[in-house]
Amino acid sequence: MNTPAMEVGIDGDLVDRLVRRQHPELAGPLTLVANGWDNVIYRLGTDLSVRLPRRRVAVDLIVNEQRWLPVLAGYVGVALPVPVRTGVPGEGYPWPWTIAPWFEGRTAAEVPPSDRSGIAVPLADFMTDLHRPAPPDAPRNPVRGVPLAARDEAVRRRLPSVSRSAELLPLWEELVALPDWRGPALWLHGDPHPGNLLLDGEDLAAVLDFGDLTGGDPATDLAAAWLVFDEDAREVFRSRVDADEVTWGRARGWALAVGTALAVHSADNPGMAAVGDHVLDQVLLP
């Protein structure tokens, strides 16, 4: 399955007109850098980026980022893409959009899992800082932060299409049966896969893409232990986070759920397909 089709035309000329009309003082050269599932991203000049929803379903996600990233940035010690300016519909483009900082570096998805161990401690500390009670008006998300059982149907539907499904199915059945999170809904990033972690050398430079931002079960984010790391780095990560055995088990379940999604839905994105293969291998380790 491939990346969903773009629902509105976005090109450099449109983005240039939007910036010049609404934020002329920031106008500059534009370079297309990403055309993902939900957003198109252009680099603007040398130190800014422009992020525009490419599908209607992503509009609420970018609005959530605009509302909450300035708040969350005050909780954590890692750089976040806090909006520098926000944009409104115009020039034939129907949705809100964002100008944010441009961070130099490369994503963790661009380096082998064995070379990501240096971010185990800072990523754990980021999550510890972030995972605090979310307010009642925190964004709702039907597929992140929810009870793991809410993902059961989707995971079972995907499992026949992935390798080692005969081993993964009984593991999933064990993990999905674990007790639900009984604590308060905590702030979550919601999608901490390697493509959303920016590295400067071996250091964690920024955490990107808060489109899945929500409140709920911290196990959703702790799935990064399998999404990002190998076995040794995972132990370092675990030693820095506050997770009991049941929460850690649900985190493994969340990793399995996300891994099946990446494995099945990344036919046109070899990098994300590789992440999916990695996590499904990792969750099967003792």
The architecture that CATH gives domain 12-101 is 2-Layer Sandwich (3.30)
Stretch 37-60: mean pLDDT: 96
Q: How confident is the model at residue 269 (pLDDT cuts 50, 70, 90)?
A: confident
Stretch 4-33: mean pLDDT: 96
Phi, psi of 20 (to 5 degrees): -65, -35
- The full 3-state SS of the chain, as one line of letters, equals CCCCCCCCCCCHHHHHHHHHHHCHHHCCCEEEEEECCCEEEEEECCCEEEEEECCHHHHHHHHHHHHHHHHHCCCCCCECCCCCEEECCECCECCCEEEEECCCCEEHHHCCHHHCHHHHHHHHHHHHHHCCECCCCCCCCCCCCCCHHHHHHHHHHHHHHCCCHHHHHHHHHHHHCCCCCCCCCEEECCCCCHHHEEEECCEEEEECCCCCCEEECCHHHHCHHHHCCCHHHHHHHHHHCCCCHHHHHHHHHHHHHHHHHHHHHCCCCHHHHHHHHHHHHHHCCC
Stretch 20-43: mean pLDDT: 95
Q: In what order do the strands lie in the sheet with 203-207?
A: 106-107, 197-200, 203-207
Furthest CA-CA distance within the chain: 58
Distance CA 146, CA 142 (A): 7
Residues 207-236: tens digit of each pLDDT: 999 999 999 999 999 999 999 999 999 999
pLDDT at 2 over 70: no
Greater confidence (5 vs 129) lies with: 129
Provide the whole-model pTM. Answer: 0.94
Fold of 106-283: Aminoglycoside 3'-phosphotransferase; Chain: A, domain 2 (3.90.1200)
Residues 98-133: tens digit of each pLDDT: 999 999 999 999 999 999 999 999 999 999 999 999
Every domain of the chain and the residues it spans: 12-101, 106-283
